[in-house]
């Protein structure tokens, strides 16, 4: 008689994703609501158009270095779980478990809860629905959970459609701001320092994060060793073009000083171009963008919990695959439930304060994993990171600089995030013991 573990391993996840799907996953994992809002945060740190644009270009360069790292890792390790598998095979299963542990409890579900509430607020602004933010957010999470339980093809189709709508909304924003809005007056140039540019880079790098989540679905790509590296490069370059274009049009219409004084730069640009109808349009665009980001997270991250269960370090039921849809439905439902609980508890804003340092520690560790794999086996087929080891070390250093900056600015939040990270170690060994 075949064991349960043998059954679901034999059944396997369905390989149904191609290059286009993978590229939409990369872009969808990066582009949320932040690009419509974050430009003002950067403009508050540096005060000249050149440095504001420079921060977004430099952040894109770091993201591209990260894409190089993850592209080679994807070619070397085309396995379910992506970053989880890289950390497991380079260091120790405990390191990978800690990554999955924090993903489920903090970084993924907390972020999804916050984005779901952002969607709910814009949805209410558009529809005037007399329902609480938390209830709308929890309902959206439930709907996306159900959609993804129908299989990776269903989830990917929804995610790709929403990503295309996001690109369309950004294109309208850039076009309207470029051709229909009056240009801003010349800005008064402020005094900027290296430290202020470094402070501006933190929200920029956070806005560029998320490309790594596409690697979670490597096991469901038809040709992951070929398509995932290409998707990472195409997707990150596409996002750089979108982000720099939005930043440029905000500066063109609002100026550096005006950009630093508004908390809703995209709405301000569209209001200047098309009046209140333009502001309502971009509110709809932001709602769609947040929905797409949620859809991408619901599709990708459960594959990590599935991989953990496959490795025997998580509840074995989480590795169960539905025989008809070939989807890890228990893993998907688990993530949806945790995100909904965080949403209804109202603790998502506090959890978000703990995300940055944890995320970038694990990004840096993943960069180091490529150095480890190269040392073990220098020769490999498929994609190889250009300029390695210099580009890889530069990416790792950038990640740890963000961690150092976050710890310096927010020591209490960083201490809590590191404590959450550390709790995963004894939990891992308890799980292995039993």
* 17 backbone dihedrals φ, ψ, rounded to 5°: -105, 140
Cβ distance 295 to 144 under 8 Å?
A: yes
Q: Cα(214)–Cα(56) distance, rounded to whole angstroms?
A: 22
Q: What is the pLDDT of residue 1?
A: 36
pTM (2 decimals)?
0.88
Determine the number of helices (DSSP H) and then strands (DSSP E) in the chain.
19, 0
210's torsion region: left (phi>0), alpha (psi -120 to 50) or beta?
left
Give pLDDT tens digits along the chain (434 positions). 334 343 344 456 778 889 999 999 999 989 988 888 889 889 888 888 989 999 999 999 999 999 999 999 988 888 767 899 999 999 999 999 999 999 998 888 888 888 898 899 888 888 888 888 889 999 999 999 999 999 888 888 999 999 999 999 999 999 999 999 998 876 655 566 666 787 788 788 888 888 888 888 888 888 888 899 999 999 999 999 999 999 999 999 999 989 989 988 999 999 999 999 999 999 999 999 999 999 999 989 999 999 999 998 898 899 999 888 888 999 999 999 999 998 888 776 667 667 777 888 999 999 999 999 999 998 777 889 999 999 999 999 999 988 888 888 778 888 888 888 899 999 999 888 77
| Residue with token string 């349009």 | 281
Q: What is the pLDDT of residue 382?
A: 80
- Planar angle of CA 158, 333, 350, nearest 5 degrees: 90
**The dihedral sign for the CA sequence 71, 76, 78, 83:** negative
Full set of structural domains in the chain with CATH: 11-433 (1.20.1740.10)
Q: What is the pLDDT of residue 235?
A: 94
Q: What is the pLDDT of residue 402?
A: 84
* 338 backbone dihedrals φ, ψ, rounded to 5°: -65, -45
3 state SS of 70:
helix
Question: What DSSP string describes 232-287?
Answer: HHHHHHHHHHHHHHHHHHHHHHHHHHHHHH-S-HHHHHHHHHHHHHHHHHHHHHHH
Q: Cα(146)–Cα(333) distance, rounded to whole angstroms?
A: 8
């Amino acid at each position: 008689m075949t064991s349960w573990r043998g059954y679901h391993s034999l059944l396997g996840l369905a390989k149904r994703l191609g290059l286009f799907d993978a590229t939409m996953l990369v872009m969808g994992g990066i582009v949320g609501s932040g690009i419509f809002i974050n430009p003002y945060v950067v403009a508050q740190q540096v005060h000249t158009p050149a440095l504001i644009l420079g921060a977004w270009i430099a952040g894109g360069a770091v993201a591209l270095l990260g894409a190089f790292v993850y592209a080679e890792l994807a070619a070397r390790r085309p396995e379910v779980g992506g970053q989880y598998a890289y950390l497991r095979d380079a260091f120790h299963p405990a390191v990978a478990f800690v990554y999955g542990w924090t993903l489920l409890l903090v970084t993924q579900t907390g972020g999804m809860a916050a984005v779901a509430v952002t969607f709910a607020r814009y949805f209410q602004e558009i529809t005037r629905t007399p329902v609480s933010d938390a209830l709308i957010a929890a309902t959206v999470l439930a709907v996306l959970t159900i959609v993804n339980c129908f299989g990776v093809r269903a989830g990917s189709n929804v995610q790709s459609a929403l990503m295309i709508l996001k690109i369309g909304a950004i294109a309208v924003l850039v076009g309207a701001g470029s051709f229909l809005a009056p240009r801003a007056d010349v800005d008064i140039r402020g005094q900027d320092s290296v430290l202020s540019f470094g402070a501006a880079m933190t929200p920029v790098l956070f806005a560029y994060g998320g490309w790594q989540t596409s690697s979670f679905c490597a096991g469901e790509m038809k040709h992951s060793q070929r398509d995932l590296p290409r998707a990472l490069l195409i997707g990150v370059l596409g996002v750089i073009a979108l982000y720099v274009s939005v930043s440029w049009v905000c500066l063109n219409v609002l100026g550096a000083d005006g950009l630093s004084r508004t908390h809703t730069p995209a709405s301000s640009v569209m209001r200047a171009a098309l009046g209140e109808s333009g502001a309502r349009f971009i509110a709809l665009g932001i709602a769609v963008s947040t929905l797409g980001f949620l859809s991408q997270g619901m599709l990708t991250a459960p594959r990590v919990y599935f991989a953990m269960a496959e490795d025997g370090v998580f509840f074995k039921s989480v590795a169960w695959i539905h025989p008809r849809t070939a989807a890890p439905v228990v893993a998907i439902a688990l993530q949806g439930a945790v995100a909904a609980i965080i949403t209804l508890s109202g603790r998502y804003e506090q959890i978000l304060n703990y995300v940055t340092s944890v995320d970038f520690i694990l990004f840096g560790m993943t960069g180091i994993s490529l150095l480890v794999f190269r040392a073990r086996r220098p020769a490999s087929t498929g994609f190889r990171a250009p300029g390695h080891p210099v580009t890889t070390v530069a990416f790792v250093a950038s990640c740890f600089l963000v961690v150092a900056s976050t710890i310096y600015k927010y020591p209490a939040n960083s201490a809590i995030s590191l404590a959450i990270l550390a709790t995963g170690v004894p939990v891992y060994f308890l799980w292995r013991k039993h």
